[in-house]
Structure 1
Amino acid sequence: MVLTIASSAFKQDEVIPTRYTRDGDNVSPPLEWHGAPPETRSFVVLVEDPDAPSGTFRHWAIYNIPATATGLPEDASGRGRSGAGEGVNGFGNARYDGPQPPKGHGPHHYHFRLAALDVPQLEIAASPRAEDVWAKARPHMIAEAEVVGVYER
């Protein structure tokens, strides 16, 4: 079985509703996944925008998600989910901050990336940057999946 991730809030390559952006309620969208390998011990989710003018911009990293999880509910950020931690995003916050591309810059593609890991938790220093969470997870990844949403202002 192949690892997949999806959101009930938007479909692949469709517009992310304003509710999940910094122009709206700035809450994380619901995510669900299926097909995790049997050897999965935890998960990491990273949200990034490769279309940002200054290079890839990270909006969220949540790690040490238990292997028993099959998704994250809407507004999961900051909920202290069973020991899950959150990395510092490009806005300087250790939480989800949704899309907010520059006005008139055109559509941006937001990659909601999921990784199944072979370790129960990542040993990470306090307040890691989102990109450092992903780098720390990379050697432990046994499967990856992503869903992409689009947003422009």
Structure 2
Amino acid sequence: MQELQVQIDFDRFPERYTCDGEDISPGITIQGLNEPYIAVIMDDPDNPGGRFTHWLIWNVKATDRIPEGIPPQNRIEHPIAAVQGMNDFRRVGYGGPCPSRGELHRYVIRVYGVKTELELPPGAARIDLEDVLKATATQYGETAAVCERKEVLATPGSL
């Protein structure tokens, strides 16, 4: 599989991309894409209950930048055209990092160059996307960032 260069603009998730902020998807820069479509899977491999999926998006037309703030809808046309799947929050679209307070987790963004549009219905599960990608992805790259939610300290008189 050919390598893609994948970048985001931070090493530590800014609050705006997390459950404590605006909970919007980050922008993703992609270099070296030779295929007409992109698929993205974002997950938390450090989740104590097992790998937790935060975002599934596919049929993104070839671009060197997926913009931030992709709407949480099954099919989107703006700012890009794409289809989104069901994350492990049981919602369609992006769900930002939200580790337990005081825990530091890694979040991996996996980007696939795909040779054809994927025949998957909106809201599809990760396992279905991964099965289709096995046959259609010819390029792959990933990047990661961490997130830690600060512990909330008790205020005097609140105990």
Provide TM-score, normalisation by structure 1.
0.86
Question: Which secondary structure state, in structure 1, belongs to the residue aligned with residue 132 of structure 2?
Answer: helix
Q: How does 1:1-153 map to 2 (within 5 A)?
A: 2-8=3-9, 10=10, 14-37=11-34, 40-67=35-62, 69-78=63-72, 80-81=76-77, 83-104=81-102, 106-119=103-116, 121-153=117-149
Q: AA paired with 1:135? A: D
Name the CA distance, whole Å, in 2 between partners of 1:101 and 1:85.
Answer: 26
Larger gyration radius, structure 1 or structure 2: 2
Query: What is the CA deviation profile of residues 44-100 of structure 1, one whole-angstrom value per residue up to 9, with x for unaligned ones?
Result: 011000111110000001100012x11211102337135410000000111101000
Q: CA deviation at 1:36?
A: 1.0
Greater shift in the superposed pair: 72-81 or 23-32: 72-81
Secondary structure at 1:137 match in 2: helix
Number of equivalent positions? 144
Q: Is the Cα–Cα contact under 8 Å of residues 46 and 134 in structure 1 kept in the other structure?
A: no
Q: Distance in 2 between matches of 1:103 and 1:135?
A: 34
Q: Relative to 1, partners in 2 of residues 1:77 and 1:47: Cα closer, same or farther, differing over 3 Å?
A: farther
Listed as ranges, the gaps of 5+ residues in structure 1 are none
SS of residue matched to 1:51: coil
How large is the Cα RMSD of the aligned pairs? 1.7
8 Å contact 2:83–2:122 — kept in the other structure?
no
- Structure 1 residue runs of 4 or more that deviate by more than 6 Å after TM superposition: none
Measure the CA separation in 2 of the matches of 1:132 and 1:52.
21
Identity %: 31
Does the 8 A contact of 2:110 with 2:140 survive in 1?
yes
Distance 2:72 2:64 in 1: 18
